Structure 1
Amino acid sequence: MSDADVTEIATETMMVAAKVAAPILLTALLVGFVISLFQAATQIQEPTLSFVPKMIAVAVALLITGNWVLASLVDFTHHLFDQLPRLLDRT
């Protein structure tokens, strides 16, 4: 396995990780922003006001995108296992 192979696998891994994490992180970011605007407008500084809606929104995002996330991870794993013979022949 060469340095280029390792770099290619690492790059692909980071791209898959970013795609898989994006829906959940963006949901939490959007809900957190809306809640912080609400808290700034009403001057209510209750910690649970930001935590509970964010937790519910992330759970809904996981329910909606969970199937796609699992399919992406399985496809990536199959792709890695398909590359194994090619990578082992170079050694």
Structure 2
Amino acid sequence: MDDSVLLGVTREAVRVAVLLAAGPLGVALLIGILAALGQAMTQMNEPTVGLVARLGGVAVVSVLLLPWLLARWLDFAALAFGGFPDLL
């Protein structure tokens, strides 16, 4: 196996992982910042407010993006498992 092939497969795996995690993590970041800002303005120091809001936001975004996320994941899996005979 050539090193460039291994590097390409690894690069693609990292790219797919970042792509799949970007949506839910971005929503968690945005909701976390808004919850922290709201807590700072109201001087309410309750950690469950931000946690519940982030969990709900990530759940909603994950359900909405699930078909797209699953299609990207299956495309990568087919590419990765389909390329094994060529690597040997």
- Equivalenced residue count is 88
Code of the aligned partner of 1:21: A
CA deviations on 1:9-63 (whole Å, 9 max, x unpaired) are 1000000000000001000000000001101111100011111111100100111
Runs of 4+ in 1 over 6 A off after TM superposition: none
Q: CA deviation at 1:8?
A: 0.5
Q: CA deviation at 1:87?
A: 1.1
User: Does 1:14 pair with 2:7?
Assistant: no
How does 1:4-83 map onto structure 2 within 5 Å? 4-83=4-83
> Structure with the greater relative contact order (CA < 8 A, sep ≥ 6): 1 or 2?
1
Code of the aligned partner of 1:55: L
**Given the two structures, how large is their TM-score scaled by the length of structure 1?**
0.92
**Given the two structures, how large is their TM-score scaled by the length of structure 2?**
0.95
**Percent identical residues:** 38
Code of the aligned partner of 1:24: P
What is the CA–CA distance in structure 2 between the aligned matches of 1:4 and 1:54, rounded to whole Å?
40
Unaligned runs of 5+ in 1: none
> What root-mean-square deviation, in Å, do the aligned CA atoms of Structure 1 and Structure 2 show?
0.8
Unaligned runs of 5+ in 2: none
